[in-house]
Amino acid sequence: MGGLLFLLHEITLNRNQAASYTTTETVSLYYRDAVFRLTKANLKKIFPDRKDEIDAYFKSGKTIPNSVDGVRALIAPWAQ
């Protein structure tokens, strides 16, 4: 497949809240000169031949893992 998985750190400043900021980690995929947030729709774009498997994964109640290792294990069969 030739993509690169990475964690994207997002910092949000909250001026009117008790906490001064919050952070969010999102696993993203760099593929074909673009960064994709891993969503069901983007997975179908990246792996068009695996649409049925992707639909089955989400219909079973599963969600996208929060770690790079978890996402790697999820997409490994689709990337072959």
| Encoded tokens for 58 | 């989400």
Banded pLDDT at 76 (limits 50, 70, 90): confident
DSSP-based three-state secondary structure for 53? helix
Average pLDDT over every residue of 63-69: 86
Q: What percent of the chain has pLDDT over 70?
A: 71
CA dist 15 and 43 (Å) reads 35
pLDDT for 12: 65
Each domain of the chain, given as residue ranges in start order, spans 4-75
CA 27 to CA 38: how far, in whole Å?
7
pLDDT of 69 > 60? The answer is yes
Q: Using one digit for the tens of pLDDT, what is the confidence trace for 22-43?
A: 667 778 888 888 888 889 999 9
